[in-house]
Structure 1
Amino acid sequence: FVKNVFEDSKLSSLVSGLVFVSQSVAHITTIIQSILTKEKQFQIFTSYNEIDNDFKTKLNRTVNLRNIRVHLLNKISIILTILILNMLILINFIIGTNFNTVYWYSFFTVQSLRLRVIQCFSYIILVNERFDILNEILLNFIKEQYNYKKRIFTIDSVNSLIENNNNMKSNKNIETILALKHIYNGLWDTVNLINECFGWSLLSIITSYFLDFTSNAYWLFMAIENMAEPETIWKCLGTMLPLILIIGYLSWGCQECSNKGERTGNLVNKLEKSNENEKYNALISEFSLQIIHEPISITANGFFNINFNLLGSMAAATVTYLVILIQFLLSERTM
Structure 2
Amino acid sequence: MDTDDALASLQRASQLCCLCYWRRDSATGQQKRSRWLLLYGCVVLLLSVGYLLYGLLDASRNVEANGVGSETTHIGHTVDSIQLVGIRVAHATALLEELWQWQAQSQFVAQLRQIDLDFINLLQLDVNNGQLRRQMGRRALYMLSGYVVSQGFILFTKIMSLDIKFMVYWLSYLLPLLVCGLRYFQIYTVILIVQQRLELLLSMLDSLQLHEALPEKPYICNTINEKLDMETQAAACMQRLLAARKLYQSLWMLVALLNRCYGLSMLVNLGNDFLSITSNCYWIFLNFRQFAASPYDFMQIVGSALWTAPHLSNVLILALLCERVSYFTTRLALSLHHIRADLQNDAHNALITQFSLQLLHQRLHFSAAGFFDVNCTLLYTIVGATTTYLIILIQFHMSESSLNSDSPGG
Shift of 1:37: 1.3
Question: C-alpha distance in 1, partners of 2:221/2:144?
Answer: 62
* Residue among 104, 107, 115 paired with 2:171: 104
Question: C-alpha distance in 2, partners of 1:150/1:324?
Answer: 68
* Residue among 184, 195, 209 paired with 1:117: 184
Q: Which amino acid aligns with 2:76?
A: S
* Residue among 88, 103, 118 paired with 1:24: 88
**Which residue pairs with 2:315 in the alignment?**
247
Deviation string, structure 1 residues 143-171 (Cα, Å, up to 9, x no partner): x44xx5498999x6427666544543332
* Residue among 350, 358, 364 paired with 1:290: 358
Task: Decide whether aligned partners of structure 1 residues 137 and 151 sit closer, same or farther in structure 2, where only a CA change above 3 A counts.
Answer: farther
Deviation string, structure 1 residues 1-44 (Cα, Å, up to 9, x no partner): 88375655232233233323322322221111111112322332
CA contact (8 A) 1:76 1:122 kept: no
CA contact (8 A) 2:333 2:359 kept: yes
**Which residue pairs with 1:3 in the alignment?**
66
Q: In structure 1, the residue corresponding to 2:232 is in which secondary structure?
A: helix
CA contact (8 A) 1:131 1:261 kept: no
CA contact (8 A) 2:93 2:268 kept: yes
CA contact (8 A) 1:29 1:200 kept: yes
The count of aligned residue pairs is 330
**Which residue pairs with 2:119 in the alignment?**
55
Deviation string, structure 1 residues 192-241 (Cα, Å, up to 9, x no partner): 11110111111011011101110110011011111274353243122101
Could you tell me which runs of 5 or more consecutive residues in structure 1 were left unpaired when the two chains were aligned.
Answer: none
Question: C-alpha distance in 2, partners of 1:226/1:11?
Answer: 15
CA contact (8 A) 2:67 2:166 kept: no
Q: Which amino acid aligns with 2:358?
A: Q
Shift of 1:64: 2.0
Shift of 1:280: 2.6
Task: Decide whether aligned partners of structure 1 residues 290 and 4 sit closer, same or farther in structure 2, where only a CA change above 3 A counts.
Answer: farther
Shift of 1:263: 0.9
Confirm or deny that 1:209 pairs with 2:248. Answer: no
**Which residue pairs with 1:265 in the alignment?**
333
Question: C-alpha distance in 1, partners of 2:166/2:216?
Answer: 77
Question: C-alpha distance in 2, partners of 1:256/1:275?
Answer: 33
Confirm or deny that 1:304 pairs with 2:372. Answer: yes
Q: What TM-score results when the alignment is normalised by the length of structure 1?
A: 0.89
CA contact (8 A) 2:333 2:356 kept: yes
The 5 Å alignment of 1:185-224 reads 185-224=249-288
Q: CA RMSD in A?
A: 2.5
Q: Which amino acid aligns with 2:370?
A: G
CA contact (8 A) 2:212 2:341 kept: no
Question: C-alpha distance in 2, partners of 1:165/1:157?
Answer: 15
Shift of 1:308: 1.7
Q: Which amino acid aligns with 1:135?
A: L
Q: In structure 1, the residue corresponding to 2:368 is in which secondary structure?
A: coil
Question: C-alpha distance in 2, partners of 1:213/1:157?
Answer: 73
Question: C-alpha distance in 1, partners of 2:140/2:191?
Answer: 12
**More helix per residue:** 1
* Residue among 197, 213, 227 paired with 1:130: 197
Deviation string, structure 1 residues 113-151 (Cα, Å, up to 9, x no partner): 11111111111011111111110001011xx44xx5498
Q: Which has the higher contact order (CA 8 A, sep 6+)?
A: 1
Question: C-alpha distance in 2, partners of 1:317/1:47?
Answer: 38
Question: C-alpha distance in 1, partners of 2:73/2:145?
Answer: 36
Of structures 1 and 2, the larger Rg is shown by 2
Residues 316-325 or 267-276, more deviating: 267-276
Task: Decide whether aligned partners of structure 1 residues 81 and 47 sit closer, same or farther in structure 2, where only a CA change above 3 A counts.
Answer: farther
Confirm or deny that 1:275 pairs with 2:376. Answer: no
Task: Decide whether aligned partners of structure 1 residues 47 and 211 sit closer, same or farther in structure 2, where only a CA change above 3 A counts.
Answer: same
CA contact (8 A) 1:219 1:236 kept: yes
Confirm or deny that 1:324 pairs with 2:389. Answer: no
Task: Decide whether aligned partners of structure 1 residues 166 and 55 sit closer, same or farther in structure 2, where only a CA change above 3 A counts.
Answer: same
Residues 242-251 or 70-79, more deviating: 70-79
* Residue among 172, 178, 181 paired with 2:245: 181
CA contact (8 A) 1:4 1:16 kept: no
CA contact (8 A) 1:5 1:223 kept: no
CA contact (8 A) 1:94 1:235 kept: no
User: How high is the sequence identity, in percent, across the aligned residues?
Assistant: 25
CA contact (8 A) 2:87 2:176 kept: yes
Q: Which amino acid aligns with 1:252?
A: L
Could you tell me which runs of 5 or more consecutive residues in structure 2 were left unpaired when the two chains were aligned.
Answer: 1-61, 404-410
Question: C-alpha distance in 1, partners of 2:112/2:141?
Answer: 22
